[in-house]
Amino acid sequence: MGYSPVFGEWSVASAHHERTEGPIPHHVIDSWERAEADVRSAFLGGKATLSVSNFTLANAGYYQGVLNEGNATMIQLSPPSSNYPVVFEESGLGNQTSWSVTVNGRTAGSLQPDIVLTEPNGTYRFTVNIPSGFNATPSSGAIMVSGGITIENIRFRTPWSTSSSNVNSGGRTLSIDFTGNATVSASTVQLSPGPSTNLNFRAIELGAIGTVNVTIPKSVTAREALASVYVDGVRDSNMMQTSDTNNYYVYFLLLYGTHSIQIQLVQTAIPYVEYTAGGALAAGVLAVMMLTFRSKKKRTQSSTANIVETNRPVA
């Protein structure tokens, strides 16, 4: 006669097998001493094993030719798990930022984009423990577990902020405005005039990616200018520039971390039409001047001839 203990399941073969009634299943094993000892050691430490103990049988004696001395081993197993995965997935945090969630009184944290818990069927309140410098959507709510995996998406963003810095341009004080969800160190803003007007500052993005909008008065340049953005010395090919009567508006994205930013405003060349119009005007002015000069010269010559004719002696 043999036996086949299976971890986490309810299958044990023995010479004598009974099952007691109750909310938690039990297996009573009464067999040859060696087989019983092997079964006991096999279940000890198993994930599904709640307890291993002795059990006294009421029908001691021989049973089918095998002695039943009345001592048996009782193995108490846990019921099948009724818990299901609850997964919280985040987006917007950067560089292994620690975050955590509290569900049903339990708090779990992670440096990774997901946190996994297990809960039985039911509805549970949750709260997101928000890292400093971020907003979370949603920051709290309820999840419903219903026989399978439950996923809740959490979106982290750094808050939108507004700041301004006063800079000196040609003896005038101008205000440069910054908006976005990256923090600009206003105290570091510098304006360098020249063939191109350069605006230098530092910006910090706490999340995975943020935006920066810069408002620059047009009076920093003598005429219309085109903007270029350099992040840590590398030109940003995705920046955008718009303008109105008074200002340039420069928009660009910023990845996680602290960055050195330079905005170059290069004055546009005078358009060809303006050169042509200017040349035509200059040529016209020159032509008028030449005609005027010739007219004056002819009048001068005519007057001189009359004077000579008048003063000629009479024969």
Q: How confident is the model over 76-94, as a mean pLDDT?
A: 85
Please state the separation of Cα 307 from the chain's center in Å.
Answer: 95
pLDDT tens digits, one per residue of 127-178: 999 998 899 999 999 999 999 999 999 999 989 989 999 998 878 899 999 9
pLDDT band at 7 (very low <50, low <70, confident <90, very high): very low
Q: Is residue 305 part of a domain?
A: no
Domain count across the chain: 3
Question: 185 with 139, same domain?
Answer: no
Strand partners, 56: 71
Give the separation between CA 204 and CA 202, rounded to whole angstroms: 7
Could you tell me the pTM of the whole model?
0.57
Q: Retrieve residue 309's tokens.
A: 């004719």
Give the separation between CA 315 and CA 297, rounded to whole angstroms: 32
- Residue 75's closest CA among 162, 145, 7? 7
CB atoms within 10 A of CB 32: 14
Question: 121 with 106, same domain?
Answer: yes
Strand partners, 66: 63
**The sheet that has 99-103: what strands, in order across it?**
106-110, 99-103, 122-129, 140-145
Q: Retrieve residue 180's tokens.
A: 């976005």
102: domain CATH number is 2.60.40.10
Question: 130 with 166, same domain?
Answer: no
Q: Retrieve residue 1's tokens.
A: 């006669």
Q: Retrieve residue 194's tokens.
A: 């020249």
- Residue 87's closest CA among 58, 119, 43? 119
CB atoms within 10 A of CB 40: 17
> DSSP alpha helices (H): ranges in the chain?
33-43, 272-310
Question: 221 with 135, same domain?
Answer: no
**For residue 51, which amino acid is it?**
S
Q: Is residue 11 part of a domain?
A: no
Q: Is residue 273 part of a domain?
A: no
Residue 11 pLDDT > 50 = no
Last residue of a domain, one of 27, 61, 77: 77
pLDDT tens digits, one per residue of 264-305: 999 887 554 444 445 455 455 445 455 555 555 555 555 544
pLDDT tens digits, one per residue of 21-32: 445 555 554 445
- Residue 101's closest CA among 133, 123, 90, 159? 90
Q: Is residue 295 part of a domain?
A: no
Question: 202 with 165, same domain?
Answer: yes
Domain span including residue 195:
161-267
Strand partners, 248: 216, 243
Question: 138 with 187, same domain?
Answer: no
pLDDT tens digits, one per residue of 172-197: 899 999 999 988 988 889 998 777 89
